[in-house]
Structure 1
Amino acid sequence: MAVQKVIRKKSKAKIDPVARMKVIWLVGHGLTLGLGAIYALFYLSQCLTFYRYRSWKTLFLIARRPHFKSKTWGHLLWRLLPQITYRMSLIGVLASHSVTSYQNWCSLNPSWYDLLSKENFQSILIATLMLFSRASLFKLVPFMLTSFLHLTVKDQKDATTEEISEEKTKEPKHKDKTASLLHIIAYSELLVMVSLLFDIITLRDNLGGFVLALYMSIYWLRLNFSPYAQETLLILVLKVDKKVPPKFQPQWRGVKQFLYLRMDESRKHQ
């Protein structure tokens, strides 16, 4: 009898979903840091050489700045590179933070309150807002510092993505490098608000008022649920406490009481 050979196809190797999400998480933070650094170089070089292309009339908004036409595709791509690096850096933020949110909530059914009360989801909202606004280094700095914090905690403590996200909600210790970096992130988030206000005053962004209103709405969530943002703002409030006029002292005490109350609530939920 003839022997029949049975040919079976080899089953494709299954990709571990956790490993795939880990790769996306690392690539996202890598894009944020790497492309953010490239955009920072473009931004700083433009700040140092702006006098070559703008006169005092354009500086004080008396005349429009000259428009240079790109002669070649390479020159056009070079001019678009800062915008590309800025947008791709924010896409990296969305990728890494989306993985963290998925890992935190994949087995649960969170409400909108649960999502909006988490710093990670707030960062996704801010990154989405900044993705469709005018490019600025101030808008990228908080995300770059956050990515640096996540990656360094990952390397030093071999923690999971969820543990890295929880690291930011712990009570800060002033002698800890992580706490210092969290305060720097909080200061940079306040600088974003200042830069948006400056864009409105100088008419640099047509949607500046809309972006500022949405950003302040999201930052209000930060003040309600983020311990490091509450403590950093309280430090600033206490520094100017003695300089507040007496007639504004009742309102000023209300601000301090609000921050103390939110800090107590944050400690109870830890």
Structure 2
Amino acid sequence: MAVQKIIRKKPKAKADPLAKQKIIWTVGHSLTLACGAIYAVFYLFQCLTFYRYRSWKTLFLIARPPINKPKTWLKWLWHLFPQVSYRLSIIGVFLSYGVTSYQNWNALNPSWYDLLSKENFQSILIAFLWLFSRATVFKLIPFMLTSYLHFTVKDKDNEEESSSQNTQLLHVIAYSELIVAGILFLDTLAFKGASGFVLALYLAVYWLRLNFSPYAQVTVLRLVVKLDKKVPPKYESQWKQIKEFLYLRMSESKKKKAKMTTPN
């Protein structure tokens, strides 16, 4: 009697979703750092050579700068490359921060308050705003510093531990976000595009930062305390209210953090 051999196919190994998410997260932060650095080089080069394409009249906003159309496709690509790098850097933010948001809320049904109170979602909103506004290297610096922070503490699983060990860098990120607001304000005064509209939206998101982000609260409070002696006497009551607001939000953040770390 002939014996029939039954050949069974080996089951395919199931892909690890966490491994895929980690790859996307790494690619996102790498894009933000690499493409942001490329754009920064182009931005610096343009700043150093602006005198070739601008006159003193355009420098002081007396006349509009001339429009230089590229004559060859290589020059056209050269002019296009910085914008592509800028957009790719922002797309990297969407990839990395999107993975983090997915991991945080995958098994939950968050409300809008839950989302808006998280720094990660606030950063996604800012990145979305930068994607459709005028490109500048200052807008990328906070994201690039954050990506650098994540890569330098990649051995740490707890984000809170990494934050405590990189307090100075977190404050630098907070200062860079304030610088972005200042630059948008100057652009608004210079009537550059839709800078006023962008500034209003950015300040709306930064207000969320002041309410829910401990490092932003501490950084702004440092600036407020340094300016105490320069505040006119008639504005001291309003200045005191600002400090009380920051102290209140900081105390609430500490209480919330204590509740999260305390076991039930």
Q: What's the TM-score, normalizing by structure 1?
A: 0.90
Query: Is 2:219 the counterpart of 1:222?
Result: no
What is residue 57 of structure 1 aligned with on the other side? 57
Structure 1 residues 77 and 11: CA distance shift in structure 2, 3 A? farther
**Matched position secondary structure for 1:269:** helix
Partner of 2:230: 243
The residue aligned with 2:37 is: 37
Residue 208 of structure 2 is aligned to residue 211 of structure 1: no
**CA separation of 1:69/1:5 partners in 2, compared to 1, >3 Å: closer, same or farther?**
farther
Q: Which residue of 2 aligns with 1:114?
A: 114
Ranges in structure 2 where 5+ consecutive residues have no aligned partner: 258-264
Alignment equivalent of 2:244, drawn from 219, 233, 257: 257
Q: Report the CA distance between 1:200 and its aligned residue.
A: 1.3
**Count of residue pairs the alignment pairs up:** 257
Query: Which stretches in structure 1 are left out of the alignment for 5+ residues?
Result: none
User: Identity percentage over the alignment?
Assistant: 67
1:178-231, CA deviations, whole angstroms, 9 ceiling, x for partnerless residues? 000011000000001011111112222x22111111100000000000111000
Q: Distance in 1 between matches of 2:2 and 2:197?
A: 79
Question: Which residue number in structure 2 is paired with residue 179 of structure 1?
Answer: 167
* Structure 1 CA distance for aligned equivalents of residues 196 and 15 of structure 2: 46
1:258 partner amino acid: F
User: Matches of 1:143 and 1:217 in 2, distance apart?
Assistant: 18
Paired with 2:9 and 2:135, the residues of 1 have a C-alpha distance of: 51
1:68, distance to aligned residue in structure 2 (A): 1.7
Deviations 1:213-257 (A, max 9, x none): 110000000000011100000000000101101100000000000
Q: Which residue of 2 aligns with 1:46?
A: 46
Could you report, residue by residue, the CA deviation over 1:122-168 in whole angstroms, capped at 9, with x for unpaired residues? Answer: 001101111110000110000000111111111xxx233xx23x447
RMSD across aligned C-alpha pairs, in angstroms?
1.7
Structure 1 residue 3, shift from structure 2 partner: 7.0
- In 2 relative to 1, CA 13–76 (structure 1 residues): closer, same or farther, beyond 3 Å? farther
User: Displacement of 1:9 after TM fit?
Assistant: 5.4
* Residue number among 150, 156, 160 corresponding to 1:159 in the alignment: 156
Tell me which amino acid in the other structure corresponds to 1:180: Q
